[in-house]
Structure 1
Amino acid sequence: MSQINSLFVTRLYRAALSDHGPAIDPMDLEASCYSIAEDDGAGQKWCEENGYPGYTSYASLTDLPWRFPIFADLVASLDAHVAAFAEDLEFDLEGKALTLEDIWINILPEGGMHASHIHPHSVISGTTYVAMPGGASALKLEDPRSARMMAAPARRKEAREELRTFVYARPQVGDVLLWESWLRHEVPMNMSEEDRISVSFNYGWG
């Protein structure tokens, strides 16, 4: 009898942010994101100069947990989620914890998108979702072997999720998604008239 095994699995962690750490009111987090964006002149300037749709604090604010208590609470929660994911991945961390490297706000208006990318020099990356109006885009994840598939035919549309070239993860407000930082991903165009708001982050080791 033949045997078929799944090898070299790519893991995607999904949980409610509230499963770990301090309770965080999504409305308070959303209000904080807008307040920070309004006051962050350097971030607004960077977005304008670089043709970035909407707003991101990635290039301007590196100390959100220090500046705003709600982000300190958020990091406490994320630390626990990342530790749980690292355990699932069976990482040998040699007694060291994965630690936050950076955390930033993303506010994508109608028509905004994030092109396909990875997060070099990090171990685990992720996003927690603050506002996901109807029509807001999912997170699009790409099979990391795509460049090596050469003459492989396309998958059937009804193929099992683990065999698809692209997987669309549709988060809800309050969800946290984690993946290994080498996993290529993107945010397709926001088709909603309302803002899609998220907070993204990277964790490193060593």
Structure 2
Amino acid sequence: MSQIESLFVTRLYRAALREQGPVIDPSELEVSCYSIAEDDEAGQEWCEENGYPGYTSYASLTDLPWRFPIFADLVKSLDAHVAAFVEDLEFDLDGRALKLEDLWINILPEGGTHASHIHPHSVISGTTYVSMPTGASAIKYEDPRSAMLMAAPPRRKDARRELQTFVYVAPEVGEVLLWESWLRHEVPLNQAEDERISVSFNYSWA
């Protein structure tokens, strides 16, 4: 009797941030993000020089949890979510937990995009969502086998989700998404009139 099974599964973790760790008020986190963006002249200059839409603290601030208690609480929550995801992935960490490597703010205006990319040298990457106005971009994930598909025909538009070449996930405010850092992803054109705000992060194997 014939049998078909799925091999080499790509896992995506999705949960409400409040399910793990301290309860964080998204509106308070939003105010903190704007306050940081307004004061971060180095980050503003980097964004302008590099043609980065909106604002990111990625190239300027490395100590958000030290500067702002709400980000310290956020890290406690993220640590717990990442630990849960690690259990699902069945990693053998040899007694060493994954540790936060970096954490940064993204404020994406109308018309802004984040090009397709991966996060080299990290194990788990993710984003938690602070503001997602109507029309804000979903996050787009790409089948990691795409470069090796060669002569494969395209998938049908109604193909099962696990067989699609691209998968779009529209997160809600207060949710966290986690994935393995080699998974290519992007943020398509933001069509919302208001800004899309998120906090992204990487975890490495200490």
- TM-score relative to the length of structure 1: 1.00
1:89-135 CA distance string (max 9 Å, x none): 00001111100000000000000000000000000000000000000
Residue type matched to 2:150 in 1?
M
Match of 1:164 in 2: 164
In the alignment, the residues of structure 2 paired with residue 109 and residue 67 of structure 1 have an alpha-carbon distance, to the nearest angstrom, of: 25
Gaps of 5+ in 2: none
Residue type matched to 2:95 in 1?
G
What is the Cα deviation at residue 203 of structure 1? 0.1
Match of 1:94 in 2: 94
What is the Cα deviation at residue 10 of structure 1? 0.1
Q: Does 1:194 align with 2:191?
A: no
After superposition, residues 2-17 of structure 1 pair within 5 angstroms as 2-17=2-17
What is the Cα deviation at residue 39 of structure 1? 0.2
Residue type matched to 1:119 in 2?
H
- TM-score relative to the length of structure 2: 1.00
Give identity over the alignment, percent: 82
- How many residue pairs were aligned? 206
Match of 2:82 in 1: 82
Residue type matched to 1:128 in 2?
T
The SS at the match of 1:2 is coil
In the alignment, the residues of structure 2 paired with residue 86 and residue 180 of structure 1 have an alpha-carbon distance, to the nearest angstrom, of: 10
Residue type matched to 1:21 in 2?
G
Match of 2:113 in 1: 113
What is the Cα deviation at residue 43 of structure 1? 0.1
The SS at the match of 2:13 is strand
The SS at the match of 2:7 is coil
What is the Cα deviation at residue 32 of structure 1? 0.2
Residue type matched to 1:161 in 2?
R
The SS at the match of 1:141 is strand
Match of 2:71 in 1: 71
In the alignment, the residues of structure 1 paired with residue 157 and residue 14 of structure 2 have an alpha-carbon distance, to the nearest angstrom, of: 24
What is the Cα deviation at residue 84 of structure 1? 0.2
The SS at the match of 2:105 is strand
What is the Cα deviation at residue 17 of structure 1? 0.2
What is the Cα deviation at residue 54 of structure 1? 0.1
1:22-63 CA distance string (max 9 Å, x none): 010000000000000000000000000000000000000000
What is the Cα deviation at residue 166 of structure 1? 0.2
Residue type matched to 2:21 in 1?
G
The SS at the match of 1:162 is helix
Match of 1:137 in 2: 137
The SS at the match of 2:183 is coil
What is the Cα deviation at residue 83 of structure 1? 0.2
Moved segments of 4+, more than 3 Å: none
The SS at the match of 2:179 is strand
Gaps of 5+ in 1: none
In the alignment, the residues of structure 1 paired with residue 176 and residue 24 of structure 2 have an alpha-carbon distance, to the nearest angstrom, of: 13
Match of 1:203 in 2: 203
Match of 1:23 in 2: 23
What is the Cα deviation at residue 70 of structure 1? 0.3
Residue type matched to 2:83 in 1?
A
